[in-house]
A and B are shown apart, each in its own frame.
Chain A
Amino acid sequence: MTNLQSLEFFIPELILTITILAALITDLFVKKSKTNMIGWVLGVGLVVVGLSVHNLSSAPPTTLFLDMIVIDPFSSFMKIVIILSTLLVIVASWVNDELEKYRKGEYFTIMGIMVMGLFLMTSSVDIIMLYISIEVVSIMSFVLAAYLKLDTRSNEAGLKYVIYGAFSSGVMLFGLSIVYGLAGSTNYFAIQDTLSSLDGSANPALIMALLMIFAGFGYKISSVPFHFWTPDVYEGSPSTITAYLSVAPKAAGFAMIIRFFHQVFSDSIGLTSNSIGSTDLPWPEIIGVLAVVTMTMGNLVAIQQKSIKRMLAYSSIAHAGYMMLALPVLSMEAVESIMIYLFIYVFMNLGAFFIVIFVKNKTGGESFEDFEGLGWKMPIVGAFMTLFMLSLTGLPPTAGFVGKLYIFKTLVGAGSEFLWLVIAGGVNSVISLYYYFHVVKVMFLGGKRSDVITYPPSTMFGLMIFTAVPSLILGLYWNPLASWVKDSLVFYNQVM
């Protein structure tokens, strides 16, 4: 579709741009104590964006701006997940005491720009757009991670993030340049067309390029061996940003990977061994091993942590591993299970982080000692935390169980060669039980009982309710989610 015709389908992003500009300009006219208002501007804008995304989700799948990005139900689903998590994090930022010393105008504006990048990540079908969107998201997350200017821990998180991020996106860019050289085009569909007809002479270059590109992808979803930035950045950043980084860019990263593998390197059936160009590397096995190593590493290191925030950082690496389990199959069911897992993961992970924020506001720390006796001092918060921990472990009747169920069902259904992934996933769930329940144990069995019971303030309570209800309800009654995901399982696909 030409540029002018595309504008009609680009309305959500246009509204988002206007919202960002409005937030930027509003920031110039408000006092420091009133900068929460910019959060309102961005929040209202995002709600409108969400409505227009919903409006467009029934439009026929098509490409926009001369095959630069696509609009299809899959990208609409991911955009709605991103908007939901952003809205929750905006509300949490109002009550996060870490940010009190600073103006929040730029914080919210930058968050808006990041949403723009995430939107483009979910829908790009051109390596130019892919690189630009990754960089937009990365640069904005560098700023957000280092937002606490006076806090050396936040500075350090920003520095490490910049160095890892810039490096891995540079390596990815070099890989993309080789793919461009081999295929002679930047468009996914054209690349698929050319790569499938390559003879074996270009194999070494293609394999090297793919490994380099996977460095960029792996950095975005923090998979082993590109995860080294994750714990430090997650620990040093403001807690709201940690929560945000652990869900939204990860969702967009998975969307990007699925689209890339689905449209460049697979026939319509799945990611089979001989489908990536003419390379004879066993790709499903490689990705499977990476997934298993990712989640095992995340779980084993999470056990040793003393800070709950850092423990959740490692647990988010482990969850990336669970989602990666379904990538080697890459059938429609696999994509479906990843989407369901992502949607559930947004709620349970954000909920756990919100409780960490609340406890830090109250006690000033985020280590296990600060959680001692929490179940008796603040029973409501303790109960919510228990629910989130149950859900993150994946025990019934919580939503996390449904997510894992779908992943394992896909793997079992895909055949016996994926059975070892199921076993590895099961073993890892048991390992994760240990450290998630350590939190529960500390909350209810540790510390002294106190007679003074603290209740969370209303905004925090609302946030907890809003994340806890889906974490529970989706474990009992997930049909609406499943049917929504099934409806969204439509990719734009073009045969050259």
Chain B
Amino acid sequence: MYRDFGTVFFAVIMGIVMVSIPLIISWLIAPSNKTKDKLDTYECGEEAEGSAWLQFNIRFYIIALIFLIFDVEVVFLFPWAVVFKEMGLIALIEMGIFLLILCAGLAYVWVKSDLEWVRRRIKYGGGRYKPLSASSED
């Protein structure tokens, strides 16, 4: 066992050495001429603007939450697939009902316009959304 780990250890050491040697060489022989443009973040030639730590649009989170739920429900398909051959038709019907309920959830999200990037109107706008909320709610 120690022999196996020895191989891994040797590979790690070699990896570090092989990467650091060119870095050290370039650090030794390259001319150092630091200007502001050179130290700036490379953004395909554009001038970099603002901080990278900006707030993402909150819609990303909503979509991610919806995706997360439907994504994880798929995990129930794996044990089902294992016993599918033994169970036969009943298993198919059971999973059909399960997926139908999931579809009902998807339809709900869809009709509530949570899948659209720009919502038609923000129904309960409060806080940051107050200016966006429609004046007449349905």
Any chain B CB within 8 A of the CB of A31? yes
- CB-contacts of A356-392 with B (<8 A): none
Q: Across the interface, which residues of A come within 8 angstroms of B112, CB to CB?
A: 28
Interface digits, A1-31 against B, CB 8 Å rule (1 contact, 0 not)?
A: 0001000000000000000010011011001
Bound: A483/B76 CA distance, A: 44
Residues on B with C-beta less than 8 A from A21 are 101, 104
The answer to whether residues A150 and B126 also contact, given A4-B90, A21-B101, A32-B137 and a CB cut-off of 8 A, is yes
Given known contacts A4-B90, A21-B101, A32-B137, is B126 in contact with A149 (CB within 8 Å)? yes
Distance (whole angstroms) from the CB of B70 to the closest CB of chain A? 16
A24 and B104 contact, CB distance less than 8 A = yes
Q: Assess whether B80 is interfacial by the CB under 8 Å rule.
A: no
B126 partner residues in chain A, CB cutoff 8 A: 149-150
Give the distance in Å from the alpha carbon of A32 to the alpha carbon of B124 in the complex: 12
Contact of A102 among B104, B107, B108, B124 (CB under 8 A): B124
For A28, what are the chain B residues with a Cβ–Cβ distance below 8 Å? Answer: 107-108, 111-112
Q: In the complex, which residues 91-115 of chain B have their Cβ closer than 8 Å to any Cβ of chain A?
A: 101, 104-105, 107-108, 111-112
With beta carbons under 8 angstroms apart, the residue of B104, B123, B124 that contacts A25 is B104
Chain B CB within 8 A of A306 CB: no
Asked whether any CB of chain B lies closer than 8 Å to the CB of A101, the reply is yes
CB distance B104 to A31 under 8 Å? no
Q: Is B138 an interface residue (CB 8 A)?
A: yes
Contacts of A101 in B (CB 8 A): 124
B121 → chain A closest CB, angstroms: 12
Chain A 293-331 against B: per-residue CB contact (8 Å), 1 yes, 0 no? 000000000000000000000000000000000000000
* Cα A149 to Cα B137 with chains together (Å): 15
CA distance A45 to B108 in the complex (A): 20
B124 and A150: CB pair below 8 A?
yes
Task: Please provide the chain A residues from 98 to 115 with a CB less than 8 Å away from any CB of chain B in the complex.
Answer: 101-103
Tell me the nearest residue of chain A to B126, going by C-beta.
Answer: A150
Q: Which of B124-138 contact A (CB under 8 A)?
A: 124, 126, 137-138
- Complex Cα gap A103–B111 (Å): 14
- When C-beta atoms are compared, the residue in chain A nearest to B125 turns out to be A150
Cα A23 to Cα B18 with chains together (Å): 65
Please tell me if the beta carbons of B108 and A24 are within 8 angstroms of each other in the complex.
Answer: yes
On chain A, the number of residues with a Cβ less than 8 Å from chain B's Cβ atoms is 13
A25 to B108, CA, bound (A): 7
Min C-beta distance of A266 to chain B, whole Å = 34
Query: Smallest distance from the beta carbon of B36 to chain A beta carbons, Å?
Result: 44
CA distance A4 to B90 in the complex (A): 9
**Distance between Cα atoms of A350 and B124 in the complex (Å):** 30
Nearest-neighbour CB distance to chain A for B62, whole angstroms, equals 14
User: Contacts of B105 on A, CB cut-off 8 Å?
Assistant: 24
A2, chain B: closest CB distance, angstroms: 11
| B123 and chain A: residue at smallest CB distance | A103
- A104 → B minimal CB distance (Å): 13
Which among B90, B107, B126 has the highest number of chain A CB atoms within 10 Å?
A: B126
CB distance from A350 to the nearest CB of B (A): 28
Cβ contacts B47-85/A at 8 Å (1 or 0 each): 000000000000000000000000000000000000000
CB of B24 to closest CB in A, whole Å: 48
Inter-subunit contact B138/A31 (CB<8 Å): yes
> Separation in Å of the A451 CB from the closest CB of chain B?
39
Instruction: State the CA gap A21–B107 with chains docked (Å).
Output: 12
The residue on B at minimum CB distance from A17 is B101
The proximity string for A residues 82-123 relative to B, scoring 1 for CB distances below 8 Å and 0 otherwise, is 000000000000000000011100000000000000000000
A468-489 vs B, Cβ < 8 Å mask (1 yes, 0 no): 0000000000000000000000
In the complex, chain B residues whose CB is within 8 Å of the CB of A27: 108
Q: Which residues of chain A are within 8 angstroms of B111 by Cβ–Cβ distance?
A: 28
Closest A-chain residue to B90, C-beta based?
A: A4
Across the two chains, which residue of chain A brings its CB closest to B107?
A: A28
Q: Are B124 and A149 in contact (CB under 8 A)?
A: yes
Bound form: Cα–Cα A27–B111 in Å: 10
B55 to chain A, nearest CB (A): 19
Contacts of A149 in B (CB 8 A): 124, 126
* Nearest CB on A from B131, distance (A): 15
Mark each residue of chain A from 326 to 358: 1 if its CB lies under 8 Å from any CB of chain B, else 0.
000000000000000000000000000000000
Complex Cα spacing A27 to B108, Å: 9
| A150 contacts across to B, CB distance below 8 A | 124, 126
CB-CB < 8 A to B123: which residues of A?
A: 103
In the assembled complex, the Cα of A363 lies from the Cα of B90 at a distance in Å of 57
A 144-165 binary contact with B (CB < 8 Å = 1; else 0): 0000011000000000000000
Q: How far is the CB of A7 from chain B (nearest CB, A)?
A: 11
Q: Given contacts A28-B107, A28-B111, A102-B124, list 7 more A-B pairs with CB under 8 A.
A: A4-B90, A24-B105, A24-B108, A25-B104, A27-B108, A28-B108, A103-B123
Interface residues of B (CB under 8 A from A): 90, 101, 104-105, 107-108, 111-112, 123-124, 126, 137-138
Task: Name 16 A/B residue pairs within 8 A (Cβ), A-sorted.
Answer: A21-B101, A21-B104, A24-B104, A24-B105, A24-B108, A25-B108, A28-B107, A28-B108, A28-B111, A31-B138, A32-B137, A32-B138, A101-B124, A149-B126, A150-B124, A150-B126
**A contact residues vs B (CB 8 Å cutoff):** 4, 21, 24-25, 27-28, 31-32, 101-103, 149-150
Question: What 7 pairs between A and B have smallest CB-CB spacing?
Answer: A150-B126, A28-B111, A149-B124, A32-B138, A31-B138, A21-B104, A24-B108
